[in-house]
Amino acid sequence: MSISLGKGRPREIGRGIPDATVARLPVYHRVLVSLSEAGVQTVSSEALAAKCGVSSAKFRKDLSYLGSYGTRGVGYDVSYLTYHISRELGSAQPWGVVIVGVGNLGRALISYRGFTSRGFEIVGLVDSHPDVVGESFAASERGNVVQLRVRPLADLEVMVADTKAQIGVIATPADCAQGVCDRLVASGIRSILNFAPVVLDVLPGVEVRKVDLAVELQILAFHEQRRGYDQEASNA
């Protein structure tokens, strides 16, 4: 599967999927699942790409990094392609997720049905606020609905170890995010999704993805403003 180049880490052949492609695979996967639920069995790159909001050329190029899963002159078998994308994404096996911070955002994540259906299991909830600790939330685990009790922040390390969680979600205020992050990493977590509006400092080998709600709005505002300028200019 992988060949060594003699120096540095072994470099995979045929597995070097560009980041931009990886970022789109989940969308392809989601749309394929919805097509499957609608009873569609075969789909062309043109039709599928349109539903995903990308060009058909980009879609085919993306798939070419995974393999040849289509049939020329026909299109793609929906379930066959779904399987291969989900395999590539690793959503075949379930990933354990620990959520730190059970405020409104944490609750939104817990109640988000999309998680379980895409191979994620919330296996732990932690909060520092005494009022929240002890509260229970419904979450699904291996298909069954279970009640998850919020545990105190102090239990973070133990819980990660007990649940063998692989992914940590930081849904705390900004000022405690770095501390929580350090403790997640110390517990062995190497994949972190950060909602706090701070740049987290981590050791190499740990991957952090961030979602900053205000940043997205600011990008929208930038374009909105620019549109205003353009309109002014065209009125001249």
Given the rule CB under 7 A, which residues bind DNA?
A: 18-21, 44-46, 54-58, 60-61, 63-64, 68-76
Kind of pairing between the strands at 136-141 and 70-71: unpaired
Token pair 């190497």 is found at 190
Q: Please tell me whether residue 41 binds a second copy under the rule CB under 8 A.
A: no
Q: Please tell me whether residue 183 binds a second copy under the rule CB under 8 A.
A: no
Give dist(CA 38, CA 41) in Å, integer.
9
Contact window for a second copy (CB under 8 A) among 61-69, 157-165, 178-186, 205-213: 205-213
Kind of pairing between the strands at 191-194 and 207-210: parallel
Q: Which does 21 bind (CB under 5 to 8 A by kind): DNA, a second copy, none?
A: DNA
Give dist(CA 171, CA 154) in Å, integer.
16
Kind of pairing between the strands at 95-100 and 167-170: parallel
Cβ atoms < 10 Å from Cβ of 20: 9
122-161 footprint of a second copy as x/- string (CB under 8 A): ----------------------------------------
Min dist CB 114 to a second copy, Å, is: 4
Asked if 159 and 150 touch (Cβ cutoff 8 Å), the reply is no
Min dist CB 90 to DNA, Å, is: 19
Considering only 104, 144, 147, 235, the residue that binds a second copy (CB under 8 A) is 104
Q: Please tell me whether residue 30 binds a second copy under the rule CB under 8 A.
A: yes
Question: Angle 231-235-236 (CA atoms, 0-180°, nearest 5)?
Answer: 125
H/E stretch holding 4: none
Cβ atoms < 10 Å from Cβ of 65: 15
Min dist CB 49 to DNA, Å, is: 9
Q: Please tell me whether residue 213 binds a second copy under the rule CB under 8 A.
A: yes
Is the torsion defined by CA of 33, 36, 42, 46 positive or negative?
Answer: negative
Residues in contact with a second copy by the rule CB under 8 A = 1-2, 9-10, 15, 22-23, 25-27, 29-31, 51-53, 88-91, 95, 97, 103-105, 107-112, 114-115, 118-120, 166-167, 169, 190-193, 197, 199, 207, 209, 211-227, 229-230, 233-234
